[in-house]
């Protein structure tokens, strides 16, 4: 299963050439992860970071920018879990516009304690909620 969302490219996302400035895609990726927690996993990301004091920092990021996106376009975004480890997970993101692949990202996040900033196991409720998004070969 994949988590899917749609996002409009905003003026603030674009550079003077009128196309998405590449770091803005990474902001979109981060926003999609938060949206996945809130809507897909049913666990508010703000609660995970705030009340639970659990961090999910990105420790590896690979991005392929395959085509430009312009102000006003709709991007179909999808996210899937490629690997779910004890304390880390690998996400696969794709953004499409007009049926064309615009961005592909591989992201590795590590579950940490915000008190110690050390890795910790992914909480059982989060692991169970993530399991349906795990892609099998």
**9 burial level (CB within 10 Å; 0-12, 13-18, 19+):** buried
DSSP secondary structure letters along 6-58: EEEPPGGGB-TTSBB-HHHHHHHHHHHHHHIIIIIISS-HHHHHTTS-EE--E
Separation of alpha carbons 13 and 27, rounded Å: 9
What pLDDT does 136 receive?
A: 81
Where b means 16+ CB within 10 Å and e means fewer, 72-100 reads: ebebebebbbbebeeebbebbbbbbbeee
Q: Where are the domains of the chain?
A: 3-116
The structure's pTM equals 0.94
CB count, 10 Å around CB of 45?
Answer: 15
What pLDDT does 137 receive?
A: 63
Q: The tokens of 125 are what? A: 């409720």
Q: List per-residue pLDDT tens for the chain, 137 residues long.
A: 999 999 999 999 999 999 999 999 999 999 999 999 999 999 999 999 999 999 999 999 999 999 999 999 999 999 999 999 999 999 999 999 999 999 999 999 999 999 999 999 999 999 999 999 999 86
What pLDDT does 125 receive?
A: 97
What superfamily does domain 3-116 belong to in CATH?
Answer: Hotdog Thioesterase (3.10.129.10)
């Amino acid at each position: 299963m994949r988590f899917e969302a749609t996002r409009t490219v905003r003026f603030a996302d674009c550079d003077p050439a009128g196309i998405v400035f590449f770091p803005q895609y990474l902001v979109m990726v981060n926003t999609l992860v938060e949206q996945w927690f809130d809507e897909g996993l049913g666990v508010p990301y703000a609660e995970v970071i705030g009340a639970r004091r659990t961090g999910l920092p990105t420790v590896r990021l690979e991005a392929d920018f395959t085509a430009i996106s312009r102000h006003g376009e709709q991007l179909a975004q999808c996210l899937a879990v490629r690997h779910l480890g004890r304390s880390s997970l690998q996400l696969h993101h794709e953004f499409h516009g007009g049926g064309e692949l615009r961005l592909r990202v591989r992201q590795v996040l590590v579950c940490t304690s915000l008190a110690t900033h050390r890795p910790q196991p992914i909480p059982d409720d989060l692991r169970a909620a993530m399991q349906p998004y795990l892609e099998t070969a």
